[in-house]
Amino acid sequence: MSTLPPCPQCASELAYEDGAMYACPECAHEWPQGAAAGADEKRAFRDANGNVLQDGDSVTVIKDLKLKGSSLVIKVGTKVKNIRLVEGDHDIDCKIDGIGAMQLKSEFVKKA
């Protein structure tokens, strides 16, 4: 008898195979068979050069960034200290001197 992984949503042991997916009859959650059991692993945030970013790092902007709804521009070479990583499209929360709190995409910065 094969051992199927428990449901990552509700930890039910009653999971079954459904084509290329696993399914849970208790909570109706479905997940791919190739998925690792540790679905709660953190995503690795990487800068433009592929370096792994962490909370508290300092980064440098590599491209002029225009701010929507404003005439302000974040210039190339602007240093941003003490970043905080968050989930989403704009994955860096930070404060930039002279501009204030904002979110940046990690693809437009490099680790300092």
pTM beyond 0.75: no
Q: What is the pLDDT of residue 39?
A: 45
Q: What span, in angstroms and rounded, lies between the C-alpha atoms of 87 and 109?
A: 16
Task: Write the pLDDT tens digit of every residue in 31-90.
Answer: 888 765 454 456 789 999 999 999 999 999 999 999 999 999 999 999 999 999 998 889
| pLDDT band, residue 105 (cuts 50/70/90) | very high
- 102: Cα separation from own chain's centroid: 17
Give the residue with greater pLDDT, 47 vs 8: 47
Is the pLDDT at 3 greater than 90? The verdict is no
